[in-house]
Structure 1
Amino acid sequence: MHATAQPQLQTQIRLSTQQWGGLIAAPLVLIALWFTPTHEAPAAQHAIAIAALMIVLWATEAVDHALAGFIGVFLFWALGVSEFERAFSGFSNETPWFLLGAILISAMANKSGMAQRIAYSIVARVGTSYSQLLLAFIIVDFLLTFLIPSGIARVTILATIAAGTVQALGLGNRSNVGRGLLIIVTYTAEVFDKMLIAGATSILGRGIIEETGQVRVLYSQWFIAYLPCSIITILCCWRIILWLYPPEKEELASEGRQYLQTQLDRLGPWSPAEKRCAVLTGIAVVLWMTEFIHHLNPSMVGLTVGLLALVPNVGVLGAEDLRKLNFGAIWFTAAALSMSRILMDTKGLEVLTGAMMNWMAPLVRGPFTSSIVLYWTAFVYHFFLANETAMLSTSLPAVLRYFGSQGFHPLPIGMIWTFASAGKIFVYQSAVLIVGYSYGYFDAKDLLKVGLILTAVESVILLFLVPFYWPLIGIS
């Protein structure tokens, strides 16, 4: 008998010009900076070189972000820049494990159907006009941030509902209603998780502020600090989209309302899985909001609830769900924290601090100027580092150390810089935007237009919050 020849499957990975550029530029940058006297201490000089390699790989997305992070922390250790414990110190930081808890809670809310039920329930009952429907989607997006910290998960849920609603109305995906609903669902999913310690970016920002600034960052304090901003943002998003994308017809036809009600009816009564999810998620939210009373670590709370979600007959997740989680985001966050720690320990941040702050320092003189200069500097810096967590990990430690040396408190500085990462005008700047864009309802020009307007709006809001409201709640 002759063995049947099995065809060999070859997987071809096609790289973009940007990725090829990153693969070529990253090692060249490493070699160049390794031998360039950027700092009097060799350890700092070499740490800067490896950090630059990581930044190039992250910015160009030449390889997966988690892999780029692993390469960097390995080189810190293998090339003798740092001992093993320090090179991989980010993995012993609480921040990646806070993120794991958030991911588990998000997966639980999705699998149980609770997130979809909440979204459909609110949207289906808001009224019959496009204006009411638009406002409902924005509010639901904000409320889901408490339950689903992942912006990608939220935009996936809400964009699917919005797209189905538009189709049920008999409107095309290039209609004003379609463009307005999809772009605001996408953009607010990316913005709201900066107003809570919920998504990976704000979780990482909190971790860096605590690590570098040596101050405690409370979940409740962050929420209260940005609560006025959240409310104003909801209203501004609503009015801006109504202005930019006036509906073809204001009142929804019965088909649109029927579509939403049908989707809700299909869910039936609350299932046992949804009830367990509601209890566990409610416990997490209550404990996070009352941290100032019991002082339980938010990371511990999130990870505890996340692990309970995996316990049979207590949670709703199983081993198969665990294997599907995006652990790469956790490893990437840990690697980013490791890089920040090594740059601090080797004094390599001194070089980065000097380069970034030379022009900013003369402009920052108080709450008014700090809110403007920090916000727009971070906005521009984000052009070069598309990934939010890479942007924060490479810049926030330097910002905190510099302004700390000038007598500024690290908490407001860190909160402004972290929040500024929400301002975006290009699709490549966020995975959340990429997911929303993939639905085909809005184009790059729509995002540029909406992004510029909302970025300016958020800047104006900060201009009033930072000097007037934040001191009243102890942030100054």
Structure 2
Amino acid sequence: MSTLVHAASETTGASTRKLLTVLIGLAIMAAIVLAPAPAGLSPAGQRVIAVMTFVVLMWITEAIPYGVSAVALVLLLILALGFSPAGSDPGAILGTAKAIPLALSGFSNGGWLFVAAGLAMAAAITSTGLEKRVAYLILRLVGANTHAIMLGIILTAFALTFFIPSVIARAATLVPIVIGLIEAFGLPRDSQIGKAMLLLAGILPSVTGVGVLTGAAPNPVMVNFLTGAGQPQLGYLDWLIDLFPYTVVFSVGLYVLATRLFKFEFSEMPGGSGYIAARLAELGPMSTAEKRASVIMTLTIVLWATDKIHHVEASAISALCVLLLVMPGVGVTTCNDLYKRIDWNSILLFGAGISMAEMLTRTGGAAWLAKVAFVESGMGGLSVTALAIMIYVVVFFVRFCFTSITSCLTAITPAIIGFLVSLHNPDIPITGIVLGVALIAQCLAIIPVTSAPAMIAYGTGGFTTRDMMRLGLPLAVIMYGLIVLFMFTYWPLVGLWK
């Protein structure tokens, strides 16, 4: 009886803390809205920043479920934009009717389509059991030791980077394989092994992508920004030499953390290699559904890898893949079955988050934040090393405002480059600092909603935001420590740092 009372008391206490967090968040949002508008910031921008502050606090504390925060975010954006001036006339407001399509703009974004399609692809493939077969084949290759399997996941992620140019596409390929590995252990997805493996699957696609010029969409965009500012052109090999070694060392740190922070249920799969061979024999020949899924996924990967030839956007290819997976006579599942398997909260949240990021940019909020952070903060008087570190600290906090890495880097990189160029200091390694920004934006992994691959992995139900923060916070310390280390050791050797 006392146990039940104690449990009820803990539940009540947790509910009270969450309610208090929501009230504090609402108070902060109201204070920002009611504060005098700073110079250079539009009323709409000020209100979107207020909404962003509230929502990011909810994401970090998990005071309200992700799905609820997504609905709240859309409503708050409608109100924030709807009751803001429509243009230069302060007396005329935009109106909620016109604000609705703006607040829902994230749901027509290619990144949102990619995440939705990625979750659908993972759900469809796991319905066939193909991921189990691939997982057992990987286990047969790397062995039954849990640490070896974790290393196998890392090596797989690196290999995929050179064949699949999209970060989200790699996540959509890797996550089903990892699910198969977890199920091969006979454990639930939220087991200690399952959490560690799925976190790797959600974090690695972005990490490996920043090390290869063609590995992530923001990379060539940043090269164009740098070239436009008069910096030397970075080629494929230049980028590889400058950043790939960092991603390798960082992945070693990720491996060490993941294998230390989570207490694995087994050090080796029960039964070892004999068990793996028995499971493969038990699966028997590939089923028709598995063969169809294999053909569809192979076609999809080939199309992803050759996008520079056919020029079909990667998210459109993903939509084609989902269509083939559910098409009668061709596919492997039905729309109704797929509907039950997909985590719709993740899809809803990511779309709402993209809307927030887009509105932050359109209303001038992102530009104002960058100006305050980089220009008006007085950073220009710092030494080169201190200046770089302070920029990286600012990027850390700005990163939480965006669900899309591409959107984040597109919004802040021009401001950073412009600020650095304006200092007229030839000793500042502009390219080196900007590439460091790319590392932070793509390697930072603290909450799922700031990364599409992490949202795909999160949508499987294997880990919570708290689990990701448990790994992501010390990983961020390693990330910054390695950047400082490379600033004084490797980067000066390759000419990236002075």
For the criterion TM > 0.5, the same-fold answer is yes
Match of 2:283 among 267, 291, 294: 267
Superposition map of 1:8-157 within 5 A: 16-40=15-39, 44-61=42-59, 62-63=64-65, 64-80=68-84, 82=94, 83-84=98-99, 85-127=101-143, 132-140=148-156, 148-149=171-172, 156-157=179-180
Q: Which residue of 2 aligns with 1:416?
A: 439
The answer on 1:284 being equivalent to 2:297 is no
Amino acid of the residue matched to residue 331 of structure 2? Answer: G
What is the letter of the counterpart of residue 75 of structure 2? I
Q: SS of the counterpart of 2:326?
A: coil
Instruction: Name the SS of the counterpart of 1:309 in structure 2.
Output: helix
User: What is the SS of the residue equivalent to 1:389?
Assistant: coil
In structure 2, the CA distance between the partners of 1:204 and 1:240, relative to structure 1 (3 Å rule), is closer
Shift of 1:109: 2.0
How far does the alpha carbon of each residue in 1:190-214 deviate from its partner, in whole angstroms, 9 at most, with x for none? 321214679xxxx99859x79x989
Render the CA deviation track for 1:206-263: whole Å, top value 9, x for unaligned: 59x79x9899xxxx99x9797655555555656777899999999x698222333333
Structure 1 position 405 matched with structure 2 position 418: yes
Matched residue SS, 1:38: coil
Cα 1:444/1:269, change in 2 over 3 Å: same
CA positional deviation for 1:311: 1.0
Q: How does 1:425-436 map to 2 (within 5 A)?
A: none
Shift of 1:159: 3.8
Q: CA shift at 1:467, angstroms?
A: 8.3
Counterparts of 1:470 and 1:312 in 2: how far apart (Å)?
56
Contact 2:379 / 2:387 at 8 angstroms: preserved in 1? Answer: no
Aligned length in residues: 429
Deviates more, 1:124-133 or 1:23-32: 124-133
In structure 2, do the counterparts of structure 1 residues 231 and 73 end up closer, same or farther at CA, with 3 Å as the change threshold?
same
**In 1, Cα distance between equivalents of 2:355 and 2:494:** 34
CA distance in 2: counterparts of 1:447 and 1:333, whole angstroms: 19
Q: TM-score, normalised by structure 2?
A: 0.65
Quickly say closer, same or farther: Cα 1:164–1:245, change in 2 above 3 A: closer
Check conservation: 1:195, 1:230, Cα contact below 8 A.
yes
What's the TM-score, normalizing by structure 1?
0.68
Please name the residue that 1:332 is paired with: 349
Aligned residue identity for 1:105: M
Q: In 1, Cα distance between the equivalents of 2:82 and 2:485?
A: 47
8 Å contact from structure 1 (residues 117, 267) kept in 2: yes
Query: Is 1:317 aligned to 2:341, yes or no?
Result: no
Paired residue for 2:205, among 184, 187, 193? 193
- Say if 2:426 is the partner of 1:389: no
The answer to whether the Cα contact below 8 Å between 2:135 and 2:177 also exists between their aligned partners in 1 is: no
Determine what percentage of the aligned residue pairs are the same residue.
20
Asked whether the 8 Å contact 1:98–1:302 carries over to 2, the reply is yes
Change (3 A) 1:360 1:271: farther
Which amino acid in structure 1 is aligned with residue 373 of structure 2? M
CA distance, structure 2, for counterparts of residue 190 and residue 414 of structure 1? 20
User: Partner letter of residue 205 of structure 2?
Assistant: D
Post-superposition shift, 1:318? 1.0
Gaps of 5+ in 1: 1-11, 166-172, 472-476
Displacement of 1:350: 3.7
Mapped to 1, the partners of 2:495 and 2:172 lie a distance apart of 24
Alignment of 1:240-255 (within 5 A): 255=271
- Once residues 467 and 53 of structure 1 are traced to their aligned partners in structure 2, the CA distance between those partners, rounded to angstroms, is 42
Q: Do the aligned partners of residues 88 and 110 (structure 1) sit closer, same or farther apart at CA in structure 2, a change above 3 Å counting?
A: same
- The AA in structure 2 aligned to 1:185 is M
User: In the TM superposition, what is the alpha-carbon distance from 1:187 to its structure 2 partner?
Assistant: 4.2
| Aligned partner letter, 2:204 | F
* 2:70–2:348 contact (8 Å) kept in structure 1: yes
Contact kept? 1:277, 1:316, Cα under 8 Å: yes
Alpha-carbon distance between aligned partners in 1 of 2:186 and 2:344, rounded to the nearest angstrom: 29
In structure 1, C-alpha distance between the alignment counterparts of 2:370 and 2:469, rounded to whole Å: 33
Q: Which amino acid aligns with 1:328?
A: N
Q: Deviations over 1:58-83 (max 9, x none)?
A: 42243533223222332245424553
**Relative to 1, partners in 2 of residues 1:146 and 1:40: Cα closer, same or farther, differing over 3 Å?**
closer
RMSD: 5.3
Q: Which runs of 5+ in 2 are unaligned?
A: 1-10, 86-93, 161-167, 228-235, 422-429
Q: For residues 15 and 406 of structure 2, what CA distance do their matches in structure 1 show?
A: 25
> What amino acid sits opposite 2:206 in the alignment?
K
